[in-house]
Structure 1
Amino acid sequence: MDVSCGTERMTLQMLICPVYFCGYNESLMALNSQHSMERCRGVADWTVDPPVLRFNFSITQEDLAVCANKLTVTQERGTTVFSDYSSLQFINISGQVKSQDPSTGGVSYHEEMMYRFSCRYPLQYLVSNASQMSVSGANLAINQDSGSFRSTLRMALYSDRHYSSFLRIPAGGLKLKTRIFVEVAAFDLGNSFNVILDHCYATAFSLDSLTHDLFVGCRRDVQTIIAVNGEEQSARFSFEAFRFVQQKSGSTFYLHCSTRLCERSSCPAAMENCSTSAFGVRRSGGGVGGRSTRVSDSATVRSGLIVIRPDDDDESEDADITQQGKQKVMLGVAIVAGILSVVLLSLVAYIARQVWGSAGSLRRDSLRLERS
């Protein structure tokens, strides 16, 4: 029996000849003995050599629940590409393909046919931010005791600590040291799971040839502040905009977060996975300390660009601000000078009027004295 564990669907394939040899056919083979459900029965493919019986179903809540597939969540120590994480949760989807005895009497001479299958998925995904105000997400297959459901993780960038105003990136880019607030939230998750951010990092290029870690586990860059992580169905942190030294004329980077889902009861234990790796810029393939802190890209959503303003733009902006300041000062001085000129002219006119008025009065008094 061949089992294909896809990210969206599971496919089972078995030779059909043994089925007929044992006295059954494709209509008598079903997932977990759900023979009354047509969607749980296999489909024969006679176009291939040898012919096969196929079962194909999606790992959605409806399909898994209808055919009574079993789902379990286990917690294990991270290995291979997940070796930097001390605790990981896995989801296991398992079941059986069983035959239905066609005998109608009290006895049967047919041997029961049963094929067991299972697929194991880590609750580990890479999620990346979307550019500016658009939102990107990745679908995650997770489960509860009652079955599975699909949840969507979304990353959004904000400009305020209340996470209420989306970050708008100007055409010229953000200024260095602008604080960027990041939220990774899960929707349609139910009440059993929380979101953990294990590793968030920035890449200078889409090929990830140059990266900078914002935080790995409990270790973080000095400018990174983790607000909420592993406590709710959303995780939040913030960092200051920076530039890669190799990028002289401005800087651009993508933001990525390695995200896990944890059952609420086990989240505290899952959080005890602090990396001993040092922070800094590293080249792809080498990692830090000889071991990469990356995980597999099985569910990666690539971000849009975050653009940082070039240094000369800052200088030109400062120069413009200085020039505008000078112009405002000169305008203020001119206005004050104009007002003072008007006041002085008014005062001179008033004094002159008073003087001429006094002189006229003296002349009139002298004329009266002469006549008398």
Structure 2
Amino acid sequence: MLVLLVWQLGLFLQADAQIPDECIFSNTYRDPENADINVTCGTQYMDLSIYICPIYNSQYNESLMALNNQFKNPVCFGKADWTVTPPVLRFRFPINETSLSACGNNFQITNQVGTGEFADYSKVEFVNISGMVMSVDPSAGMITYRPQIHYIFSCKYPMQYLLNNTQLSVSGVNVAIRDNNGSFISTLSMELYQDAGYQNPLTIPPTGLNLKTKIYVSVKATNLTEKFNLLLDRCYTTTGPFPMQTNYYDLFVGCNRDPQTKVEENGVSQRAHFSFEAFRFIEHKNLTVSTFYLHCVTRLCETSTCSSLLPVCNGQKRRRRAATDVPANATITSQQIRVGQQTTDAESKPTYHTASSAESIASAFSSLLFSLLLAVCATKYD
């Protein structure tokens, strides 16, 4: 009880501190308004910026404002910035499960029919992060003359692995997007392997792989919260390194897949595995080596709902966007894949049943037959 009284006394003394000069001469030294909060929905952090002078005008200060009433946790307080005009109170917290739960922010998964850039998706999942910055009244008595202050904020993220800037929405008045091409929560990687155990990286010689060589592909997310799995919507190849090209060949799109492509793991963990056989693009028929690149359209899915996002292959196929419409920042690309003209090592070795070999055998047989005829004739005359 004594500790609580000392804490309340400290808050009271801080609240009665002198009004800063920056606020006395500021046009924001007034009653608080909803528009006083500015929210930045970044891909790695959420930033809140609140005019601080209205807070002082209501007989509070930065030490009496915290996230979601978490006044006993130091990380849930903001920092006053008196270097800008007008001065503001800033909050910043990473977009990860630990940080969000520490200060009591809400973390909710929702889904809806895709719109805008995601109009071709029958269902798109979103992460809605919301909370409140609120004041604590240091008054020790039964009544107070201080008004309660609270600012509500939220950010809505589409569950694409890499975010499209136009898809962010926020409850504040002003929205700023930072980390334009940054990653959401995690990092993504694609590796090619030569074995079904995904242990030995694929080595591609300068002369290219043999046709029908099995290529094993692993797409993996790292530093990812356990709430999400990795889902590949589509994987396809192009002759150039850029995803958005008119000449492409699909390995799989929903239920449609290349006959030589096998999807082994997708949407059930934080990695995806599939394999396909090396091929050549017909447009490279006059080239010794055919080159192409592998692209996979990726997104995150909440672990309990991933199965509902996978295609149901019973004759009904979910719509998928064309390759030219896939945002480049939602696609991961492989290293260059080179394929030669030969097929297998056995087929590339010299054979002995050639035309020249047949001619040699025929010539030897003719010589033997001629020798036998001469021997018969010589015996007859003798």
Relative to the length of structure 1, the TM-score reads 0.67
8 Å Cα contact 2:109-2:128 kept in structure 1? yes
Q: Is 1:198 matched up with 2:230? A: no
Change in Cα spacing, 1:244 to 1:173, as seen in structure 2 (3 Å) is same
After TM superposition, give the deviation of residue 220 of structure 1 in Å: 1.7
Q: 2:102 maps to which residue?
A: 66
Q: 3-state SS of the aligned residue for 1:239?
A: strand
Equivalent position amino acid for 2:142 in 1? G
Change in Cα spacing, 1:325 to 1:140, as seen in structure 2 (3 Å) is farther
Residues 3-152 of structure 1 aligned to structure 2 (within 5 Å): 3-125=39-161, 140-141=184-185
Q: Is 1:253 matched up with 2:292? A: yes
Q: Aligned match of 1:235 in 258, 263, 272?
A: 272
What is the alpha-carbon distance in structure 1 between the residues aligned to residue 292 and residue 302 of structure 2?
33
Structure holding more strand per residue:
1
Residues 256-267 of structure 1 aligned to structure 2 (within 5 Å): 256-267=295-306
What is the alpha-carbon distance in structure 2 between the residues aligned to residue 266 and residue 171 of structure 1?
44
Equivalent position amino acid for 1:242 in 2? F
Q: 1:294 maps to which residue?
A: 326
What is the alpha-carbon distance in structure 2 between the residues aligned to residue 83 and residue 221 of structure 1?
25
Q: Aligned match of 1:217 in 244, 254, 261?
A: 254
Change in Cα spacing, 1:181 to 1:113, as seen in structure 2 (3 Å) is same
Q: 1:321 maps to which residue?
A: 349
Q: 3-state SS of the aligned residue for 1:27?
A: helix
What is the alpha-carbon distance in structure 2 between the residues aligned to residue 319 and residue 207 of structure 1?
34
Change in Cα spacing, 1:297 to 1:118, as seen in structure 2 (3 Å) is same
8 Å Cα contact 2:135-2:150 kept in structure 1? yes
After TM superposition, give the deviation of residue 41 of structure 1 in Å: 1.2
| Structure 1 unaligned regions, length at least 5 | 128-137, 142-150, 278-286, 330-372
After TM superposition, give the deviation of residue 162 of structure 1 in Å: 4.2
What is the alpha-carbon distance in structure 1 between the residues aligned to residue 268 and residue 298 of structure 2?
13
After TM superposition, give the deviation of residue 33 of structure 1 in Å: 1.5
Q: 3-state SS of the aligned residue for 2:305?
A: helix
8 Å Cα contact 2:45-2:92 kept in structure 1? yes
Q: 1:339 maps to which residue?
A: none
Equivalent position amino acid for 2:259 in 1? V
Q: 3-state SS of the aligned residue for 2:329?
A: coil
Change in Cα spacing, 1:193 to 1:203, as seen in structure 2 (3 Å) is same
Q: 3-state SS of the aligned residue for 1:121?
A: strand
Specify the structure having the higher radius of gyration (Cα): 1
8 Å Cα contact 2:262-2:274 kept in structure 1? yes
What is the alpha-carbon distance in structure 1 between the residues aligned to residue 97 and residue 305 of structure 2?
23
Q: 2:219 maps to which residue?
A: 184
What is the alpha-carbon distance in structure 1 between the residues aligned to residue 290 and residue 161 of structure 2?
27
What is the alpha-carbon distance in structure 1 between the residues aligned to residue 352 and residue 224 of structure 2?
53
After TM superposition, give the deviation of residue 219 of structure 1 in Å: 1.5
Change in Cα spacing, 1:20 to 1:193, as seen in structure 2 (3 Å) is closer
What is the alpha-carbon distance in structure 1 between the residues aligned to residue 279 and residue 348 of structure 2?
23
After TM superposition, give the deviation of residue 270 of structure 1 in Å: 1.3
Q: How many equivalent pairs are there? A: 292
Relative to the length of structure 2, the TM-score reads 0.66
What is the alpha-carbon distance in structure 2 between the residues aligned to residue 188 and residue 58 of structure 1?
13
After TM superposition, give the deviation of residue 71 of structure 1 in Å: 0.5
What is the alpha-carbon distance in structure 1 between the residues aligned to residue 276 and residue 154 of structure 2?
42
Q: 2:29 maps to which residue?
A: none
Residues 266-277 of structure 1 aligned to structure 2 (within 5 Å): 266-272=305-311, 274-276=317-319
8 Å Cα contact 2:296-2:332 kept in structure 1? no
What is the alpha-carbon distance in structure 2 between the residues aligned to residue 31 and residue 324 of structure 1?
81
Residues 5-54 of structure 1: CA deviation (Å, up to 9, x unaligned): 11111111121121111111112111111223222111122222211211
Residues 193-213 of structure 1: CA deviation (Å, up to 9, x unaligned): 543321112233333334332
Equivalent position amino acid for 1:267 in 2? C
C-alpha RMSD of the superposition: 3.4
Equivalent position amino acid for 1:308 in 2? V
What is the alpha-carbon distance in structure 2 between the residues aligned to residue 11 and residue 102 of structure 1?
26
Identity of aligned residues (%): 46
8 Å Cα contact 1:157-1:181 kept in structure 2? yes
8 Å Cα contact 1:196-1:262 kept in structure 2? yes
After TM superposition, give the deviation of residue 108 of structure 1 in Å: 0.8
Q: 3-state SS of the aligned residue for 1:297?
A: helix
What is the alpha-carbon distance in structure 2 between the residues aligned to residue 190 and residue 4 of structure 1?
22
Q: 3-state SS of the aligned residue for 2:204?
A: coil
Residues 140-194 of structure 1: CA deviation (Å, up to 9, x unaligned): 53xxxxxxxxx65543322233444332222322223322122334567677654
What is the alpha-carbon distance in structure 2 between the residues aligned to residue 197 and residue 307 of structure 1?
23
